[in-house]
Structure 1
Amino acid sequence: METTIAFILIFGSLVFFHELGHFIFAKRAGILVREFAIGFGPKIIGYTKGETIYTLRLLPIGGYVRMAGEDLDKIDLKPGYRIAIELNKKEEISKIILNQKNPSPQQLFVEVEKADLEKDLFVEGYDEEEKFVRYSVARSAVVVENGTETVLAPYDRQFNSKKLSQRAMAIFAGPLFNFILAFFIFLAIGLIQGVPTMEPVIFDTQENGPAAQSGLLKGDVVTKINGESIATWDDMARIIQENPNQQLDFTVSRDGQEKEMSIVADSIKNGEETVGQIGVYYQSPLEKNPLKAVQNGATQTVDWTIQIFQLLGKLITGQFSIDALSGPVGIYQATDEVAKFGVFSLMNWAAILSINLGIMNLLPLPALDGGRLLFFLFEGLRGKPIDRQKEGMVHLVGIMLLMVLMIVVTWNDIQRFFF
Structure 2
Amino acid sequence: MEMVQNIVLTVLVFFVIVSIHEWGHFYFAKRAGILVREFAIGFGPKLFSVKKGETRYTLRLIPAGGFVRMAGEDPEIVEVQPGQTIAVRVHDDKVTRIYLDRLDERSNVIRSEVESIDLEHALTVVLQVDGEPERLSIHPQALMVSKGRETQIAPHNRQFGSKTVAQRALAIFAGPLMNFVLAFVLFAVYIQLTGIATGNPDKVFIGEILEGRPAAQANLQVGDEIKTINGVQIGGDYEKMIAMIGESADKEMTWTVLRDGKTVELTITPALDPEAKAGKVGISPKFDVPTRTPGVGETITYAAKAMKNMTVLIFDSFKMLITGQFKLDDLGGPVRTAEITSQIASRGIEQLTSWTALLSLYLGIFNLLPIPALDGSRLIFLGLEAVRGRPIDPNRESMVHFIGFAMLMLLMLAVTYNDVMRLVKG
TM-score for the superposition, normalised by structure 2: 0.77
> Whole-Å Cα distance in 2 between the matches of residues 218 and 325 of structure 1?
34
Q: Alpha-carbon deviation of 1:283?
A: 5.7
Task: Give the match for residue 122 of structure 2.
Answer: 120
> Match for 2:71: what amino acid?
A
In structure 1, what is the Cα distance between the partners aligned to 2:51 and 2:410? Answer: 34
Please give the residue correspondences for 1:115-264 in structure 2 after superposition, counting only pairs within 5 Å.
Answer: 115-127=117-129, 129-191=130-192, 193-197=193-197, 199-200=199-200, 203=203, 218=236
SS in 1 for 2:103: coil
Aligned residue identity for 2:118: D
Q: Deviations 1:122-154 (Å, cap 9, x if unpaired)? A: 101202x12211111111211111111111111
Is 1:306 matched up with 2:320?
A: no
Shift of 1:114: 1.0
- The DSSP-based 3-state class of the residue aligned with 2:121 is coil
8 A Cα contact 2:37 2:71, kept in partner: yes
Alpha-carbon offset, residue 198 of structure 1:
6.8
Deviation digits for residues 40-88 of structure 1 (CA, Å, limit 9, x no counterpart): 2222222211111111122222211110001111442211111111111
- 1:2-401 matches, within 5 Å, as 2-89=5-92, 91-127=93-129, 129-191=130-192, 193-197=193-197, 199-200=199-200, 203=203, 218=236, 284-291=289-296, 292-401=298-407
Mapped contact 2:333–2:419 kept (Cα < 8 A): yes
Contact 1:35 1:67 in 2 (8 A): yes
Give the superposition deviation at 1:208: 7.2
Residue aligning to 1:267: none
| Distance in 2, Cα, partners of 1:301 & 1:385 | 35
Relative distance call for 1:331 and 1:92 in structure 2 (3 A) is same
SS at match of 2:421: helix
Residue 289 of structure 1 deviates from its aligned partner by: 2.7
Paired residue secondary structure (1:102): helix
| CA spacing shift, 1:32–1:306, aligned 2, 3 Å | same
Judged with a 3 Å threshold, the aligned counterparts in structure 2 of structure 1 residues 354 and 61 are, in CA distance, closer, same or farther, namely: same
3-state SS of the aligned residue for 2:326?
Answer: coil
State the one-letter code of the partner of 1:146.
Answer: K
Q: CA deviation at 1:194?
A: 3.8
User: For 1:170 and 1:178, how far apart are their aligned partners in 2?
Assistant: 14
1:368–1:284 distance in 2 versus 1, CA, 3 Å: farther
Q: How far apart in 2 are the matches of 1:42 and 1:360?
A: 25
- Aligned-residue offset at 1:368: 1.0
- How many Å separate the matches in 2 of 1:195 and 1:382? 52
Unaligned runs of 5+ in 2: 205-225, 238-274, 277-284
- Stretch of structure 1 that moved more, 97-106 or 197-206: 197-206
- The separation in 2 between residues aligned to 1:202 and 1:379, in whole angstroms, is 60
Equivalents in 1 of 2:200, 2:84: separation in Å? 79
Q: Is the 8 A contact 2:114 2:127 kept in 1?
A: yes
Once the two structures are TM-superposed, the CA of residue 399 in structure 1 deviates from its matched residue by 1.3
Which stretch of structure 1 is more off in the superposition, 52-61 or 31-40? 52-61
Q: CA deviation at 1:169?
A: 1.0
Q: Which deviates more, 149-158 or 379-388?
A: 379-388
159-168 vs 68-77, which moves further: 68-77
Q: Match for 1:155: what amino acid?
A: H
1:308, distance to aligned residue in structure 2 (A) = 0.5
Distance 1:305 1:198, change over 3 A: farther
| 8 Å CA contact retained: 1:314, 1:320 | yes
SS of equivalent to 1:87? strand
Q: Name the CA shift for 1:341/1:201 in 2 (closer, same or farther; >3 Å).
A: closer
1: CA distance, partners of 2:107 / 2:15? 46
**Structure 1 residues 81 and 216: CA distance shift in structure 2, 3 A:** closer
Q: C-alpha separation between the residues in 1 aligned to 2:141 and 2:236?
A: 71
CA-atom RMSD, angstroms?
A: 2.7
Structure 1 residues 201 and 345: alpha-carbon distance in aligned structure 2, compared to 1, 3 A threshold:
closer
Please report how far the alpha carbon of residue 347 of structure 1 lies from its aligned counterpart in structure 2 after TM superposition.
1.5
1-structure distance, mates of 2:107, 2:381: 50
Tell me, what secondary structure is at the counterpart of 2:104?
A: coil
Shift of the alpha carbon at 1:321?
Answer: 2.8
* 315-324 or 339-348, which deviates more: 315-324
Cα drift, residue 411 of structure 1: 1.9
Q: CA deviation at 1:100?
A: 3.2
Which AA in structure 2 matches 1:108?
I
